[in-house]
Amino acid sequence: MDTIKEFKRIMDTQTELALATIGTDGTPNVRIVNYYFNPTNNVLYFTTFKDNEKVHEMEHNRNVAFTTIPKKGNEHIKARGIALRSEKTVFDLADCFCDKVPGYKNTIDFAGDSLILYEIHFKTATVTLDLSDIQTITL
């Protein structure tokens, strides 16, 4: 397996991930979010509403984990990283999100001013193609 090639393919073709944060009381919390991964700077971007619970959780503890949600079989990426509020806005990456996620333009048009853009920075990721083909890469 060309692990880097498969990593990029999966990050490009899958549109959702399960994002795990740590609640302010120390309990884990997970939810589904759309994302865009920029292969140039190896940063994963996602949006959330300003008053969402995950905003408070990430202010309290920036450590997160995620796994992409497979479109076919068991292919997915999982990683741990640090979530930071981006200096960019969803409008800066609107074309990227809209190209990747069908219908995301409606979300931006309807709620763009209420969305915060976050970045997840991570150094390693586990690439799973199936139960017998799993490898970890360093970005």
Residue 136 has pLDDT above 90, yes or no: yes
Tens digit of pLDDT for each residue in 122-134? 999 999 999 889 9
What distance separates the 2 farthest-apart alpha carbons in the chain? 44
Residue 11 has pLDDT above 90, yes or no: yes
Residue 1 has pLDDT above 80, yes or no: no
Q: What was the pLDDT predicted at 102?
A: 86
Residue 19 has pLDDT above 90, yes or no: yes
CATH number at residue 109: 2.30.110.10
Question: Which structural domain range is residue 24 located in?
Answer: 3-138
Domains identified in the chain, total number: 1
Tens digit of pLDDT for each residue in 39-93? 999 999 999 999 899 999 999 999 999 999 998 899 999 999 999 999 999 999 9
Tens digit of pLDDT for each residue in 93-119? 999 999 999 899 999 999 999 999 999
Q: What was the pLDDT predicted at 131?
A: 84
Q: Among residues 75, 73, 56, which one has the least CA distance to residue 135?
A: 75
Q: Supply the pTM of this predicted model.
A: 0.94
